[in-house]
A and B are shown apart, each in its own frame.
Chain A
Amino acid sequence: MSDDTHAEIVAQREAVVEQERAHEAEPSAGARRAAQALAGVANTPGVAKPDPILVADDMARHFGGVRAVEVEHLEVQRGTITALIGPNGAGKSTFFNLITGFDRPDSGRWAFEGRDITGRPPHRIARAGMVRTFQLTKALTRLTSLENLMLGATGQRGEGMLASLLRPSWAAQEAQITSRAEELLDRFNLTHMRDEFAGTMSGGQRKLLEMARALMVQPQMILLDEPMAGVNPALTQSLLGHIEALRDEGMTIVLVEHDMDVIMSISDWVVCFAQGQVIAEGRPDDIRKDSAVIDAYLGTHRALHEEDPS
């Protein structure tokens, strides 16, 4: 490598770091709005929020003797990025499955946008405006990227068996959906994959595709199950950018994530799960210092007991 290109790379890297600093110094409009809305909220588990979009009560799910989820009360504030953290097996994904209807709780009630959606099947919850993505990406491999996205549009007239035979009845809507899908492909830098089978995409591209597809449903709230897992650092930055942009547009985002740097940098509110229960929630800075969270992650209690047998 010549010195010139090396210097160039260093310069580029510095520019990126500079950008990141500027970004950190100046929160986006959405982040400010979210911070304001959550300003008076205490950081205690199960605390009430000023404008909750999702309210869950007494949710319980047991697998045999394992209490996978036991959440007494949880509210998600509208227009925020809320992160669910916790050790493996803490019940984050199970909680996701419960509120999106993919799994049935043993007990509990939950409401979305003020409407009780307890026990509704997953497709009706999705139509109500709460859409999820999956930890193991579910790209529809033998459909093209464009078809993957177009599938996400709701209220398609051509999706009825008889109506589908009358092309004129849905052709105009189909054209509209196509252009919406193309816009989203463009937004997520996937335009070059438009007519490729989704199965030919890389893991990171699939994550982007899945997020774009969820947006085609035009949800009020989107639940991302480990959106950064298995994604290279460069793409992680772009994914983060997309997530923040969605929040800035007013969407509510709940995500499960393990990468602490990611969580601290983008979330407005953090909920920490351990052994199926919410053990702490609050602003990222508070959560970082919360003793219950540190215990759950590092096991200090146990460590102390072992060191202090008397």
Chain B
Amino acid sequence: MDILAVLSVAIRGALGPEAAIYALAAIGLNMHFGYTGLLNFGQVGFMLVGAYGTAISVLSFGFPLWAGVLVGMACAVVLALILGVPTLRLRGDYLAIATIAAAEVLRYVYRSSFAEPVTGGVYGLVQFAGSFYELNPFSGPLELGPLRFGDRALWLMTVAWGITLLAAVLVWLLIHSPWGRVLRAVREDEEAARSLGKNVFAYKMQALVLGGVLGALAGALLAINSQAITPDAFIPIITFYLWTIMILGGASRVLGPIIGSIVFWFLLTFLDAFLRGAMSAGWIPGGLLVPSDIGAVRFAAVGLGLMLLMMFRPAGLIGNRKELRLDVR
């Protein structure tokens, strides 16, 4: 087995567009949970409306792609308002229930046959991001030793990581301001924030909208990346990957989701390539594992890794342990 090849595949996974897109969606989730304490278990719903908002605007209404992305983000604002108005005045658990249900309801609505003329139903939509790839300034692949990125991937990586870093800068600026101070106060104790004259509902709503819009942007990029979307790509497990990424990196840290996403994708692709390599080299007996199991095994391994992390670094890779200890009392 060529360990160098395995590593290069893993690094490609860690730096690829998917890692950037998941990092962006996790930054949105971090806005919700890490800074405001909102339990959003339906971040994938925001990604879905972002992706479909983009694709439908382009295909059905003939919008340019950039306008489609804006429509996708606007859809996230609407979704956040619909979810937030009834639940944000109540205890935190209600938002958790509403979001997880809303994400699933949206998926079923978008895949239903009555929506098929617009959403393509279970078959989804394809070929709406051609104009994005026409702008590609890269003419050839980039090769760094065994590492190779195609020109298409390079262009998408540039844009996706660029947007992700911009989002991180935006979150940093927001959090290190009086606005961010109020958000963190809301996370610690809503009543205390209220007693000091802060309109807690408004702040929670702003955080929900902002994090949702970042999720929608990630969804739009995901759609552009694959040039094809189906509702069943937006299943609840995506939300839990995002939670994993956020906790892995360190919640309520600006760079937490980015580091979390890179590590998550590195581990996932590394395990995949490693297991395949080990199997073809005959290291793993065929009776123990067959190639079709690899997908499941690597997620089990990531789960195990997460458990170990919670035991030995409960605050995440770059989290503040001192801060976490305060929570346990």
Kindly state whether residue A301 has any CB partner on chain B within 8 Å: no
A122 touches which of B174, B194, B210, B323 (Cβ 8 Å): B194
Within 8 A of A (CB), among B204-238: 206, 210
Complex CA–CA separation, A164 to B210 (angstroms)? 14
- Are B192 and A165 closer than 8 Å at their CB atoms? no
Task: Please indicate the chain A residues that have their CB under 8 angstroms from the CB of B177 in the complex.
Answer: 158, 164-165, 167, 170
- Are B184 and A142 closer than 8 Å at their CB atoms? yes
- Are B197 and A141 closer than 8 Å at their CB atoms? no
Kindly state whether residue A57 has any CB partner on chain B within 8 Å: no
| Majority secondary structure, B binding face | helix
B196 touches which of A121, A141, A151, A199 (Cβ 8 Å): A151
Kindly state whether residue B109 has any CB partner on chain A within 8 Å: no
A126 touches which of B170, B189, B195, B326 (Cβ 8 Å): B195
Task: Please indicate the chain B residues that have their CB under 8 angstroms from the CB of A140 in the complex.
Answer: 184-185, 188-189, 192-193
Tell me the minimal C-beta distance from B55 to chain A in angstroms.
29
Indicate with 1 or 0, residue by residue over A161-194, a CB within 8 angstroms of chain B CB atoms: 1011101001000100000000000000000000
Q: Which residue of B lies closest to A213 (CB)?
A: B196
- Are B189 and A123 closer than 8 Å at their CB atoms? no
Tell me the minimal C-beta distance from A112 to chain B in angstroms.
14
Kindly state whether residue B123 has any CB partner on chain A within 8 Å: no
Task: Please indicate the chain B residues that have their CB under 8 angstroms from the CB of A160 in the complex.
Answer: 179
Tell me the minimal C-beta distance from B84 to chain A in angstroms.
15
Kindly state whether residue B200 has any CB partner on chain A within 8 Å: yes
Kindly state whether residue A156 has any CB partner on chain B within 8 Å: yes
Complex CA–CA separation, A157 to B178 (angstroms)? 8
Interface bracket on B? 20 to 34
- Are B194 and A164 closer than 8 Å at their CB atoms? no
- Are A152 and B174 closer than 8 Å at their CB atoms? no
Task: Please indicate the chain B residues that have their CB under 8 angstroms from the CB of A143 in the complex.
Answer: 181, 184-185, 188
Task: Please indicate the chain A residues that have their CB under 8 angstroms from the CB of B196 in the complex.
Answer: 123, 126, 131, 151-152, 213-214, 216-217
Interface residue total, chain A, C-beta cutoff 8 A:
42
Q: Which residue of B lies closest to A177 (CB)?
A: B178
Indicate with 1 or 0, residue by residue over A121-141, a CB within 8 angstroms of chain B CB atoms: 111101100011110001111
Complex CA–CA separation, A132 to B200 (angstroms)? 16
Kindly state whether residue B158 has any CB partner on chain A within 8 Å: no
Complex CA–CA separation, A199 to B181 (angstroms)? 16
A142 with B206: in contact, given A126-B196, A134-B195, A159-B178 (CB under 8 Å)? no
A164 touches which of B174, B184, B193 (Cβ 8 Å): B174
Task: Please indicate the chain A residues that have their CB under 8 angstroms from the CB of B329 in the complex.
Answer: 141, 199
- Are B188 and A123 closer than 8 Å at their CB atoms? no
Tell me the minimal C-beta distance from B197 to chain A in angstroms.
4
Kindly state whether residue B182 has any CB partner on chain A within 8 Å: yes
- Show the binding face of B for A, using Cβ within 8 Å: 170, 173-174, 177-182, 184-185, 187-189, 191-200, 206, 210, 322-323, 326-327, 329
- Show the binding face of A for B, using Cβ within 8 Å: 100, 102, 121-124, 126-127, 131-134, 138-143, 147, 150-152, 154, 156-161, 163-165, 167, 170, 174, 197, 199-200, 213-214, 216-217
